[in-house]
Amino acid sequence: MKYETVIGLEVHCQIKTESKLFCPCGTAFGSPPNSNICPICCGHPGVLPVLNRKAAEFLIKTGLAVGCTISKESIFARKQYFYPDLPKAYQISQYEKPLAEHGSLTINGKKIGITRIHLEEDAGKLLHTIGSTELDFSLVDLNRAGIPLMEIVSEPDMRSPQEAVDYLSSLKMILQYLDVSDCDMEKGSLRCDANVSIRPEGSKTFGNRVELKNMNSFRGVKDAIEYEVDRQTRATEAGERINQETRLWDADKQESRPMRSKEQAHDYRYFPEPDLLPLLISDEQISDLRKSIPELPADKRSRFVREYELTEYDANVLTGDKMIAEFFEKSVSHGNKLTKKPVAKMISNWITTDLLGRLNQGNHTMAESPVTAEHLASLVKLIAEETISGKIAKTVFEEMWTNRADPETVVKEKGLVQVMDTGQINGWVDQAIAQNPKIVAEYKGGKERAIGALVGSVMKFSKGQANPELVNKILKEKLASA
């Protein structure tokens, strides 16, 4: 029997606001435990929540970016549960009427439905000392309690672990372009639960789903789903029933284990939050927010292909990160001021290979690049106008990377200007021919590749400064006539 995998993702994303969702407490990551708290987020009796406007606006922007309908009237709901990290014993969330609904994301040409995006508050964090002290105890840090989250729920439309990862990375990119979240999985500002089930191929009904929690990297999401599909397939083939349950992913052991049987919605006893009025959004607010949406990754990608004649692949790499895309466009626009020669393609190459290569090596982001967009444009101008050879350019780039040097200055100070003077090149070519009789004989004997060694010898004499095309041309002429 062949099985089909069915996946739906619930993504929790921390909305980038300065204060919490219902109180004025700050949201800075890494603050001392329990320093960003007040009676409201600690759930003292008698306090009243006040909605953070920015959080709602950021959610609406996100909803619009993924084609959702924005609810002009949405309501908050209490989701009840008892946990030591949630002193109120309920979480303020949205249930029946979320702020955004019915959107989608297109991944590799396939539409993945987005069921809903709703606002909710985060809970605190527990720290268990088990095994590390004489007395086992747990500590609670309520800094996270009340941090604004948006929960983005997808339809069960994904059919493979890779598709789930592609959806997640595309969603992450959009959130970063919108600047509504840091999306840092390590700091918990982007969390994902994966719902996984299998069904016989061709079947129209869904199987029971298992909810996987605790993945904190793309790799983790993929591994956890793969493991789960395998586990469910084996269980089903052994005649077992798949129970609806929540399982925890353990990245170290590369396995998941059951956490609890899945609660049903009615277990939470949802009811409308009596301390908050329905959230009313006007058409004008929606259209203002729509206008504030920047160009999104997919549009930028196709524009890069069209406008700069880049390959899909390069455009993809450059738009994979908003900062890289900005760096590229800034560099191209600067380069166009410096020279009439085309620069876009070359700048793209230098970014995707040399610059990103170096940055990734040291785990650096574009913001930390010692090479500026202007300097890269100058370097490309020097190459495009044949002031320096491609080989010398690599040396110049080294200086730019290690010393933040201006390429024009490097070339002047080190005398790296490319030699185009045929008289000078003629001299080096004669020297190379005279010193390598064996190679010359090989070449004349029909081994055309041997010319490479002669070019290398000329380049050595010229300290890498001779123009390689001229060297090639002159060498061939001389060898043919000699």
Alpha-helical runs (H) found in 41-199:
53-65, 161-178
Judged by beta carbon, residue 8 or residue 407, the one nearer ligand ADP is 8
Task: Pick one of 11, 15, 23, 59: the residue that binds Zn ion (CB under 5 A).
Answer: 23
40: amino acid identity, one letter: I
- Min. distance of Cβ 131 from Zn ion in angstroms? 32
Q: Which residue from 313, 324, 386, 390 is spatially nearest to 355, judged by alpha carbons?
A: 324
Residue type, 354: D
Answer yes or no: are the C-beta atoms of 146 and 36 closer than 8 Å.
no
Query: Which tokens hold the place of 373?
Result: 């967009």
Distance of closest approach, residue 123 Cβ to Zn ion, in angstroms: 13
User: If binding is defined by CB under 5 A, does position 373 make contact with Zn ion?
Assistant: no
Q: Which one of Mg ion, Zn ion, ligand ADP, none is in contact with 458 (Cβ closer than 5 to 8 A by kind)?
A: none
**Binders in 422-461 for ligand ADP, by CB under 6 A:** none
- What residues line the site for Mg ion (CB under 5 A)? 10
Nearer to Mg ion, 10 or 226 (CB): 10
Selected binder of ligand ADP within 27, 195, 369, 467 (CB under 6 A): 195
Assess contact for 211 and 246: CB atoms under 8 A: yes
Q: CA-CA distance, 120 to 29, in Å (whole number)?
A: 18
User: Counting Cβ atoms within 10 Å, is residue 21 exposed (0-12), middle (13-18) or buried (19+)?
Assistant: buried
Greatest Cα-to-Cα distance within the chain, rounded to the nearest angstrom: 100
Name residues contacting Zn ion, limited to 28-67 (CB under 5 A).
38, 40-41
Compute the distance between CA of residue 441 and CA of residue 434 in angstroms, rounded to an integer.
11
Q: Which stretch binds ligand ADP (CB under 6 A): 64-72, 118-126, 202-210, 390-398?
A: 202-210
In angstroms, how far is the first alpha carbon of the chain from the final one? 74
Q: Tell me whether residue 39 or residue 200 sits nearer to Zn ion (CB atom).
A: 39
Residue pointed to by tokens 């639960």: 193
What's the count of helices (H) and strands (E) in the chain, helices before strands? Answer: 16, 16
Q: Is 156 in the site for ligand ADP (CB under 6 A)?
A: yes
Binding of ligand ADP by 10 (CB under 6 A): yes
Which of ligand ADP, Mg ion, Zn ion, none does residue 41 bind to, with CB < 5 to 8 Å depending on kind? Zn ion
Cβ 5 to ligand ADP, closest distance in Å?
Answer: 9
In terms of CB distance, is 228 or 406 closer to ligand ADP?
Answer: 228
Listed in sequence order, the residues at least 6 apart from 414 whose beta carbon sits closer than 8 Å to its beta carbon are: none
Residues constituting the chain: 482
Comparing CA positions, the residue from 49, 72, 51, 50 lying closest to residue 60 is 72
- Which pair of tokens denotes residue 425? 């090149």
User: How remote is the C-alpha of 422 from its chain's centroid?
Assistant: 50
Contact with ligand ADP (CB under 6 A): which of 17, 93, 154, 465? 154
How many Cα atoms within 13 Å fall on the side-chain side of residue 437? 0
> Cα–Cα distance between 54 and 193 in angstroms, integer?
25
Contact region for ligand ADP (CB under 6 A) — 35-43, 207-215, 376-384, 425-433? Answer: 207-215
101 lies in the site for ligand ADP, by CB under 6 A? no
Q: Is the dihedral of CA 481, 466, 389, 436 positive or negative?
A: positive
206 binds ligand ADP, rule: CB under 6 A: yes
Nearer to ligand ADP, 248 or 417 (CB): 248
What is the closest distance, in whole angstroms, from the C-beta atom of residue 235 to Mg ion in the complex? 21
Is 153 a residue that touches ligand ADP (CB under 6 A)? yes
Given candidates 9, 185, 373, 459, which one binds ligand ADP under the rule CB under 6 A?
9
Nearest approach, Cβ of residue 26 and Zn ion (Å): 9
Q: Compute the chain's Rg from CA coordinates.
A: 30
Choose between 57 and 193: whose C-beta lies nearer to ligand ADP: 193
Taking the complex as a whole, the smallest distance from the CB of residue 324 to Zn ion amounts, in Å, to: 37
User: Which stretch in 6-14, 298-306, 330-338, 470-478 sits in contact with ligand ADP by CB under 6 A?
Assistant: 6-14
Residue from the set 17, 27, 143, 197 that interacts with ligand ADP by CB under 6 A: 197
Please tell me the count of residues contacting Zn ion according to CB under 5 A: 5
> Under the rule (CB under 5 A), what is the footprint of Zn ion?
23, 25, 38, 40-41
> Under the rule (CB under 6 A), what is the footprint of ligand ADP?
6-10, 153-156, 195-197, 206-207, 209, 211
